[in-house]
Amino acid sequence: MDPAPESDFPKTEDEAYQAFVDSLSYLPADDIARIESAYAFAAEAHAHQKRLSGEAYITHPLAVAEAVVEWRMDAEAVMAALLHDVLEDTRVSRKELEERFGSELSDLVDGLSKLDKIEFASYREAQAENFRKMLMAMARDVRIVLIKLADRRHNIRTMAALRPDKRRRIAFETLDIYAPIALRLGLNKLYRELQDTCFELIHPIRAQVLRKAMRAASGNRRELLGKILDGLGGKLREEGIEAEVFGREKSLYSIYRKMKDKHLSFLQVLDIYGFRVVVERVSHCYLALGALHTLYKPVPGKFKDYIALPKANGYQSLHTTLVGPYGTPVEVQIRTREMHQVAQEGIAAHWLYKESEAGGDGELEIKTHKWLQSLLETQSGDSAEFFENVKIDLFPDEVYVFTPKGKILTLPSGANAIDFAYAVHTDVGNHCTAAHINHVLSPLGAKLRNGDVVEIVTDPQAQPHPSWLGMVKTGRARGKIRHYLRTIQHEELAALGKRMLYKELMSMGVLPVSVADLNWQQLAQNSGSPSLHDLFADIGLGKRLPAVVARILLAREALPPAPTGSTLTIHGTEGMAIQLAGCCQPIPGDPIVGAISKGHGLVVHTLDCPNISRSRLNDPGKWMEIEWEPEEGKLFEVDIQVGVKDKRGVLAQVAATIAKAGSNIVDISMNDATEHIFSVLNFTVEVSDRAHLEQIMRTLRRIPEVIQVSRARGEE
């Protein structure tokens, strides 16, 4: 394409473009020439497009590029900002972009483009998939997220022409995802702007009232704030500490959130203002802290040392709250100049200050890359689920815990030992059974606190439990648990489905081994399942009927007959594919039947279970005959009720008898004695089979104080 002539653009655009070119002085002349070429290319590509506000479309990519230049990013990033919409909104192809500007730039622009050519079932799904693509690109090149954030900032600044409902939707999305990402990357200034702008878009009247109240409060408190500022600066000078002290007003949105979360009025929010102390060296931070603590009394429990233990986004400062004049709480942050740069610009400080003494913060860039990689590890086939995991992981509050070797791990507030185990290694999480927290044996659900030393106890036979999904806080742990459970359940369901299909074939007089391999392969191909294994899993899950699949298979050739009347055999310990009903608690030796519960596999009941009598009568084809297959060493839980005379020591005597019979008591409770003429003890015991249970019950009946013993039947 030939560059569009300058005369085609209004004077205001010329002025904006000239100011933009002037701001590129930190780059070499060759890079500036390439950027000017990229601008001309973008200007022509968007030449006939207008924004909803009526402005020429090129004003948007130019504004995004200006933000990138403020961060002193390299030429490729500036060019990508100028061209970030050409693949999505114009006829320019990626190949054309690559031929003109190179593969690095085309990769950056592609990472910034939405998936507009793919149709999704819902906006939510599209949003989740777009976000996944952005994160994957971010993991390869962190410049993509910085350009994306600059793009979002300009979009929400210029949404006046959009419908109110669309403005609110975009603002909520920004608060939900983009603002937390900005915070997670340490872009504090951008984070505050995104929050405040979105707040004004979502609640314009509330924002207007609150801003007016803040202006009034600023005037009323000017004398007090000046006194505090003078006091802080004077004390530091008195101690010989060279420092810059300045006040900072809390953001509009943070005050609103505090009022809402703590149910406070505006007048009750006393800490609208805070103060920053910026010094030259790290040692001066602690000297300044000591000096200020002698000036005003510190509030107990309100001190945080983010210098010794930096936040995951690289943020470092000392935080303390002091009791100032007239009992006013005074929040103070103490940091060095380099820390202040990182606190304001985060990962962008890598480019912004790479030539200064602050240095390119390589450690922060490495941390960011590791965080992005950890997010990608939580991916599953479900985009919405991945989206939720990432939202969980964008947390502002963290706890710092230690491994036995002294390594520090950062976890979200409320995280437990399971989160810690998965943070160490996936295999540690999958096989954890307990934890030593500060050398004390603790359950896996125990919440961790700052400074805890955690050691995980593992067992090769242990595996994640579905209940863990409701306990963990990190997206990594949740994603790993879901992946493990799905993998295990898929294998179990495939094994169950295969046995069910084989049983159906046997009942039709066909030996499964006599079916030709080619027929099995054709069955898988024609069924629409990715593989025969997946077809078996669908049968086990109840998505396909074994009788129908068997008929399709047998339609291909005549096969030798097999013995009929076969039944499905189970161990009862297969896992999630076969569930023993909680209402009747079947154990080996009980006559049993089973039915496929769609989405849950095979559910097994005792033959005399009252909960299934109506279903067996009305829908007999649903139920299949099942037999127990003996397996040594396996235990099953079953409930029994023991009626006893109200006599001292009887509970201990019953418990001892159960133990002598070779059974373990899992749970015990007692019915209210006022409802019975005798007390009823409810035990959950572990037994190997029905014969073992009958032995326990016979032994209990020999105790003189025992009136009756029965097997409990609970509700489904």
List pLDDT tens digits, range 630-689: 666 678 888 999 988 888 888 888 988 998 888 888 888 887 554 556 788 889 888 888
In a domain, 371, yes or no: no
Domain that holds residue 510: 483-628
Mean pLDDT to the nearest integer, 121-146: 67
Is position 183 within any domain?
yes
pLDDT number for residue 520: 78
pLDDT score of 388? 58
Residues 671 and 695 occupy one common structural domain: yes
pTM: 0.56
Burial 213-230 (b: 16+ CB within 10 A, else e): bbeebeeebeeebeebbe
Q: Same structural domain for residues 455 and 499?
A: no
500 in any annotated domain:
yes
For 32-89, how does the pLDDT look when each residue is reduced to its tens digit (9 = 90+)?
999 999 999 999 999 888 888 888 899 999 999 999 998 888 899 999 999 999 988 8
CATH value at residue 292: 3.30.460.10
The fraction of the chain above a pLDDT of 70, given in percent, is 78
Of 206, 234, 251, the residue at which a domain comes to its end is: 206
Let me know if residue 36 belongs to a domain.
Answer: yes
Asked if pLDDT for residue 329 goes beyond 90, the answer is: no
Q: 114 in a domain, yes or no?
A: yes
35/182 same-domain check: yes
pLDDT of residue 483: 79
Return mean pLDDT, the chain: 79
DSSP 342-377: HHHHGGGHHHHTTTSTT---HHHHHHHHHHHHHHHH
Return the HEC string of 179-207.
HHHHHHCCCHHHHHHHHHHHHHHHCHHHH
DSSP string for 364-423:
HHHHHHHHHHHHHHT--S-HHHHHHHHHHH--S-EEEEE-TT--EEEEETT-BHHHHHHH
* Statement to judge: residues 57 and 73 lie in one domain: yes
Whether 389 maps to a domain, the answer reads no
519 CB-contact burial (10 Å; exposed 0-12 / middle 13-18 / buried 19+): middle
Measure the CA–CA gap between 601 and 463, rounded to whole angstroms: 19
Domain edge (last residue) among 298, 320, 352: 352
Per-residue pLDDT band at 115 (split at 50, 70, 90): very low
Q: pLDDT for 451-490, tens place per residue?
A: 788 999 998 888 888 778 878 888 788 888 877 877 776 7
Q: Assess whether pLDDT exceeds 60 at residue 564.
A: no
Q: At what angle do helices 123-140 and 103-112 cross, to 10 degrees?
A: 150
- Whether residues 216 and 172 share a domain: the answer is no
Query: What domain count does the chain have?
Result: 5
Examine the domain organization and report whether 81 and 139 are in the same domain: yes
Mean of pLDDT values over 176-203 = 86
Q: Which residues are catalytic?
A: 88-89
- Residue 376 is predicted with a pLDDT of 56
User: For residue 164, what are the contacts with CB-CB under 8 A and spacing of at least 6?
Assistant: none
Task: Say if residue 157 is in the same domain as residue 292.
Answer: no
At residue 1, the pLDDT reads 39
66 and 151 fall within a common domain: yes
Is it the case that residue 628 has pLDDT exceeding 90? no
* Between residues 575 and 687, the one the model is more confident about: 687
- Residue ending a domain, among 424, 449, 473, is 473
Residue 62 in domain: yes
Shared domain for 291 and 156, answered yes or no, is no
- Give the tens place of pLDDT for each residue, 1-33: 344 444 444 445 677 888 888 889 889 999 999
Answer whether residue 611 is part of any domain: yes
163 and 23 assigned to the same domain: yes
User: Do residues 325 and 223 both lie within one domain?
Assistant: yes
Do 14 and 39 share a domain, yes or no? Answer: yes
